């Protein structure tokens, strides 16, 4: 199975929202003590990064994509039976005309993995299992990730 993740263009509405949020944080930050100032400054930096990513192509995939690849690699090393087995990944830049909502020139990542047997990945099947079975699956994930 191949999972494709790519940078999307922010909508005008989202860009305006993030800009407003950024300005609000900037105004609120002016009247804070040093601890609160640092926290709000971090929030401001995150908002500005989101706005940049929503309006400009970036070469490096976002943190969630990189964390997903790291987690899949870690799960592969532990032979977790309840997770897809990571095989490989590659990255490139998105070309025009591929995805309507994609950011041309932004990142695109292809993650190749072996599919987990259907009943293992099925959410309904998971919740239909006994509590003991669900706890065993949770324990396998926790062990694999730690």
Q: Tell me the residue range of the domain where 115 lies.
A: 2-145
* pLDDT confidence of residue 73: 92
The number of domains in the chain is 1
**Rounded Cα gap, residues 38 and 41, in angstroms:** 5
Task: Pick the more confident residue, 37 or 113.
Answer: 113
* pLDDT confidence of residue 89: 95
* pLDDT confidence of residue 91: 93
**Rounded Cα gap, residues 104 and 55, in angstroms:** 11
Per-residue pLDDT band for 85 (boundaries 50, 70, 90) equals confident
**Rounded Cα gap, residues 119 and 129, in angstroms:** 11
Q: Report whether pLDDT(121) > 70.
A: no
- The model's pTM is 0.64
Q: Report whether pLDDT(109) > 90.
A: yes
Q: 53-77 b/e with 16+ CB inside 10 Å = b?
A: bbeeeeeebbeebeebbeebeebbe
């Amino acid at each position: 199975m191949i999972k494709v993740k790519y940078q999307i263009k922010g909508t005008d509405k989202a860009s305006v929202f993030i800009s407003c949020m950024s300005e609000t944080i900037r105004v609120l930050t002016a009247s804070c003590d040093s601890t609160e100032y640092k926290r709000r400054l971090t929030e401001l930096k995150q908002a500005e990064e989101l706005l940049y990513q929503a309006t400009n192509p970036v070469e490096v995939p976002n943190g969630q994509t990189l964390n997903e690849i790291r987690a899949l690699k870690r799960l592969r090393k532990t032979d977790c039976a309840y997770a897809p087995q990571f095989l490989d990944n590659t990255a490139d830049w998105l070309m025009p005309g591929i995805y309507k909502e994609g950011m041309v020139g932004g990142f695109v990542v292809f993650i190749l993995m072996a599919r987990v047997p259907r009943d293992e990945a099925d959410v309904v099947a998971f919740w239909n299992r006994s509590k003991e079975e669900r706890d065993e699956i949770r324990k396998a994930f926790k062990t694999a990730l730690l």
